[in-house]
Structures are given as structure tokens and as C-alpha cells.
Amino acid sequence: MHYRIAKGVFDILPQDPDPQGNWRETHLWHFFEKTMREVALAFGYEEIRTPIFETTDLFTRSIGSSSDIVTKEMYTFRDKGNRSLTLRPEGTAPVLRSFIEKSLHNQGKVHKFFYSLPMFRYERQQAGRYRQHHQFGVEAIGIGSPFQDVECIHLLWTLYQRLGLQNLTLHIHSLGNEETRKAFRHALKIYLRPHVNSLSAESQLRYETNPLRILDSKDAKDQKILEEAPKILDFLGEDAKDHFNTVCALLNDLKIPYLINPKLVRGLDYYNQTVFEITASELGAQNSLGGGGRYDGLIQQLGGPDLPAFGFGAGIERILITMLGQNVPFPKRRAPTLFLIPLGEDAAPFSFTLGSHLRTEGISVEIDLSGKKLKNAMKAASQKNAAFVAVIGDDEKKSGKFQLKNMQTGTVETVSSDELANVLQTYP
Ligand code: HAM
């Protein structure tokens, strides 16, 4: 029996044998996670971890019954108690569920969370689109002012800068409030009515269920039809207009370049006012490196207090793929400081004790217990990128002195077992 990985998911390995697959290597994820944590903490966000599954109604009520996620993409199953559960397709609803359930608003008005968690969506498999993907996201609860919108956008922008990403485009837009969208939906339907039969099959369906989503159709013919379509920005009330103008002004102050994109509507129903997305040209069709927006009203809709909120989610796979595509330098994979090669069976227990002791001192040691010939063992040491190599034979065992070879410079130094830990500890 030969088992294969399920469709649309992937392993993250110390080293992926496929040269195209090096974004699936653990040390790249560690680098991303370290940088992401540093940036999120610098902005005053704290980490939250919610369970992988939630009750299904949490997602159907928040994401929207006509969204792709709810209609086609959820991994929903019944547990042995016949409860309907769903693997988390996105991070916002679970964070809000936790916030409301624990009455966190009693601990203060403002709460800022970040997360880095796997998400599950039954999507058509293609480059940059997976059935399990990972999102770095933030949810900032309690502040309704444009400062909050820009703080979140700035956080993600800063992270991308810190990671060394280039050629990114920040798209921003405002969806106004429910009233705006109602009036706009009506105007858009009137505009599209004479063209309905020429729209793509998907957009024809959306004409009935969720006409706003027609705006972000990738179909060239749909886009042509939409050229003269009404614009949401023309339907904004005074407050929403002011809010959006302030967002633009604050972005200007922070020197973050942006593009006002009247087609940006987002695929989840809970947004109002500011929405944004950051795209990378390298990624092709699945080019969104992250996106989010304001979702005032959602907390109340889920049974909590009436608090405004803003957040985003960013796909970690796509970020790493873009970084590699742009040749961004990554720190090297962690290598052992010392590679110990016992010569002959007698040397093995001695080498094992010595190496084990050094490990307890915090030194990373690899002990070659495979019984390889010296030449092959040396080859393994250089493949592992070990900083030092010591060969242990009878002489070393007796004298307690080792020839420590620096693999980078080729120099050899004689060190006693007592000195070994000190010498290696000075190595970075
Ligand atoms: P979303 O746009 O559905 O938003 O996903 C956020 C990001 O996750 C996308 O921009 C993309 O980078 C990545 N992503 C989504 N689906 C996939 C996939 N199948 N494969 C690979 N990457 C993917 C949300 O999920 C919202 N919860 C974001 C948010 C938080 N809004 C407010 N707070």
C-alpha cells in the first residue's frame, strides 16, 4: 500500500527535494514567524490561538450565505454527537467568538490580537491556492476611527518591508455602510440588466445572489462590460467619505503608496467602510498577499457588544513564494555547531557521552552513529554545514584531546574535552 498526501495540502520539511518547493522548508517558516511576531508585538498586538474547528453556524452567520466560502468551500462534518462542525476557513469569526464568549470587553475597550494559523477551504487546486493554507492575521477591536484602519495597513506594510518584499501594490476602497451598498446594488443591477446574458456564468449567478462580487470578476468580457459601471465611492455618505479621505491622508503621511481600486469588494460579506488588499505581480491570478478591512457591526451580529473593528489576513504560503521569486535573502538553515565522527565501534559510546554532555550545555551537536567510512562521514558533515568536525578514535579517547577542524577556514586546533564546551560556546 502506497499512501499519498491528500489533494491541495502540503508538507513542510527541513529540506524539500523539489527545487520549486523550497517555500515548504521549515526554516523559512521560522524566519517568517519570527519577523511577523516582532512586527506584531511592536504594534501592540498580542497572540491568540483558537481551535481548528468551530460550530458551523459561526461561519455561516459571519462570512455570508452567498459567499464562495460558505456555499462551496467549507470542510463541514458531524462529530459522534451529531454536532455540525467546520474546520476554520478564516480567522476573524473564531477570534470574535472567543472575544464575545469570554466577555473580554469587560476588561477594556480596545483589544488587539494577532494569529498565525492554518485555514481550510475546499478550493480548486492551483498555484498559490491550497486546501490548507496558513494566515497571519490581526483583529483590532474597539476603535472606529481611520487611525485604526491605517495602523493595521501599516503593520502589514511594515512586515512586508521587513521581509524584503518589493513591487507590491496596496489597493484600497470603501464599501460604505449597509445603506450605501443597498443603493449601489440597485444601481449596479440596473446598469447590468441589458448585459446580463453576456456576463460569465458565474457573474450571471452573482447578479441574483451577490451583485457586488461581479465587480471583482477576473473574466475579461465581464470587465469590459463593467467599464462604465457606477462606482461605490459615488454612493458614500458624508461620514464614510470623510473616513475614507482621512485614511488616504494618513497613508500619505506615512508615505505608503496606494491605489484606489473601485473594483475591490472582498469575498466575505462582513466588511463595511475601508477595505484593502496587497498584491504582488509575480503571483499571477492568485496575487493577493493579504487583505482585510473594517467590520463594524459583526461583533454585535454574533451576539456581542456593538464595537467597531478592523483586521486582515495574509497568506503565508504566498508571501514565502513571492519572497523566493524575488530572491529575497533568507537566513540559512540551522546547522550543527559540532559534527562528531567516532572511528570504529569502540569510539561510539565515548563519542555519544561526550556529544550528549555538550548538548545539555546548549551546543548543537550531531553524532554520526551510522558507522560510515571517514570519507563519507566528512561528506555528511559538510552537507549538514557543520561549523566544526572532530574525529574520535582510540587516541582521542585515551588522551581526552581532540583535533577540532573549523570547516569554514580549514584550520585545526587541539582542544581538551574540558575546553571543548567553552570553545564551542563562543561560536555564534
Ligand atoms: P481572505 O481574503 O479570504 O480574508 O484571506 C486572506 C488571505 O489569505 C488572502 O489574501 C490570501 O493571501 C490568503 N488565502 C486565502 N485563501 C487561500 C488559499 N486557498 N490558499 C492560499 N492562500 C489563501 C480573510 O480570510 C479574512 N478573515 C481577513 C480578515 C481578517 N478580514 C478582517 N480580519
CA-nearest residue for atom 15, ligand 1, is: 315
Q: What is the pLDDT of residue 418?
A: 87
Q: Are residues 160 and 201 in the same domain?
A: no
Is residue 330 one of the residues assigned to a domain?
no
Q: Are residues 58 and 146 in the same domain?
A: yes
User: Which has the minimum average pLDDT: 18-27, 85-94, 184-193, 313-322?
Assistant: 18-27
Q: How many angstroms does the Cα of residue 152 sit away from the middle of ligand 1?
A: 15
Is residue 61 one of the residues assigned to a domain?
yes
Q: Are residues 255 and 303 in the same domain?
A: yes
Closest by CA to 130, choosing from 363, 286, 291, 1, is 286
> In this model, does residue 98 exceed pLDDT 90?
yes
Q: What is the pLDDT of residue 283?
A: 73
Q: Are residues 284 and 406 in the same domain?
A: no
User: What are the pLDDT digits (tens) for 126-151?
Assistant: 889 999 999 999 999 999 999 999 99
> In this model, does residue 121 exceed pLDDT 80?
yes
What is the helix, strand, coil percentage profile of the chain, to 5? 45, 20, 35
Cα–Cα distance for residue pair 275/261, rounded to 1 Å: 10
User: What are the pLDDT digits (tens) for 288-346?
Assistant: 999 999 999 999 999 999 999 999 999 999 999 999 999 999 888 889 999 999 998 78
Is residue 333 one of the residues assigned to a domain?
no
Pocket of ligand 1 (CB under 6 A): 90-92, 121, 123, 128-130, 133, 135, 137, 139, 267-268, 288-292, 295, 311-315, 317-318
Query: Residue 378 belongs to what H/E stretch?
Result: helix 374-383
Domain span holding position 219:
179-233
- Position in ligand 1 atom list of the atom nearest CA 121: 19
Helices (H), 139-217: 146-163, 178-192, 201-209
> In this model, does residue 186 exceed pLDDT 90?
yes
Q: How many angstroms does the Cα of residue 267 sit away from the middle of ligand 1?
A: 9
Is residue 331 one of the residues assigned to a domain?
no
Q: Are residues 47 and 137 in the same domain?
A: yes
How many domains is the chain partitioned into structurally?
3
Domain boundary among 233, 248, 279: 233
Q: How many angstroms does the Cα of residue 70 sit away from the middle of ligand 1?
A: 14
Average pLDDT, the chain: 95
CATH code at 354? 3.40.50.800
Q: How many angstroms does the Cα of residue 133 sit away from the middle of ligand 1?
A: 9
